[in-house]
Amino acid sequence: MQPILSVEDLTVQFGASHGSRLHPAVCGVSLNVCRGEVLGLVGESGSGKSVTLRSIPGLTRRYGKLSGRVLWQGEDLMAMPESAMRPILGKDIAMIFQEPMTALNPLLTVGIQITESLKAHTGLNAHERQRRAVEVLDLVGIPGAAHRLSDYPHQFSGGMRQRVMIAIALASTPKLLLADEPTTALDVTIQAQILDLIAQLARDFDMGVILVTHDLGVVAQSCDRVAVMYAGRIVEEGTVRAVLHDPRHPYTNGLMRSVPQDVPPRTPLFSIPGTPPSLSSMPTGCAFAPRCTYATERCTAEIPSLSSLTRGHLAACHHPLGGAQ
């Protein structure tokens, strides 16, 4: 299947101040997303997930140095000026941010915030925009949608605000949805509803989705494929079943072992030893080597490449694990 989006060798570097030394937050990330597919980006905080996601539509341009290619329907978004990207962003590529209370404008009604997107990206008249706003609010499961258009964000619960964010993103029927931890601040019941909604919309609209999360349960529930990130690099990638049932990178295996499963009472829970490296002091060789029990001298000297282990299952490790752990 032809990818709707291809990211090739994306690198993002930041400096503490103008003219200071640049530190890589994302290093050589490549990934593909097809229509109707949900790709999960998973990893610890600071692994580069959100920076990768926000670099696709160019939101990190003003703050860092970007290189690589982001191919959208044959065109490189990285090479486009912001003016040329505006007709694409919000229409063909939409984004859901992590915290809806800060992403939504508290001074504008949700109806205005939905219709202003439609005004910018469609040829609908005022009456048609209003009708479409009701349609998308109803689509995301907000009761009494026609009567909620005049409400402000603070009049909605956290789960309903997230649904409003999804409605704004879907208003122009995008082909790709970028979701940056859309369920982090929600309780478990609402989280499940939002994830089911995103997965259903991907199927119904044949829409590609990149879902950033640190929760492996979210990945198992919602995604078709998963890419595991560590220290700005993809260290393992494959179908959800292959990666979660047969992790081949020691870091992925550590993440899986960190999820409590049938643990007796008062038993110490497993955690990966050590902490992720800072951008300013990346280790030579494999970034995970200082925390890895399988590390050898080669690991501390040479960065492993992302290589195919079985069909569709890749890992960046000099000593990949041999099977289900």
Measured between alpha carbons, how far is 25 from 12 in angstroms, rounded to an integer?
A: 6
Question: How many residues are there in the chain?
Answer: 325
What pLDDT, in 10s, does the model give residues 79-122? 999 888 888 998 999 999 877 778 899 999 999 999 998 998 88
Query: Looking at domain 5-92+174-261+271-315, does it have CATH number 3.40.50.300?
Result: yes
Judge whether residue 325 has pLDDT over 50.
no
How many CA atoms, within 13 angstroms, populate the side-chain half-sphere of residue 206?
4
Cα 283 to Cα 154: distance, rounded to the nearest angstrom: 45
Mean predicted lDDT score pLDDT of the chain: 90
262 or 134, greater pLDDT: 134
Question: Where do the structural domains in the chain lie, given as residue ranges?
Answer: 5-92+174-261+271-315, 103-173
CA-CA distance, 322 to 250, in Å (whole number)? 11
- E strands in 135-186: 176-180
pLDDT, tens digit (0-9, with 9 covering 90-100), for 83-94: 888 889 989 999
Residue 172 burial (CB count, 10 A):
18
- pLDDT, tens digit, 9 for 90 and up, residues 245-300: 999 999 999 999 888 887 888 888 888 998 999 888 889 999 999 999 999 999 99
- Which DSSP string corresponds to 30-86? EEEE-TT-EEEEE-STTSSHHHHHHHTTTTTTTTSEEEEEEEETTEEGGGS-HHHHT
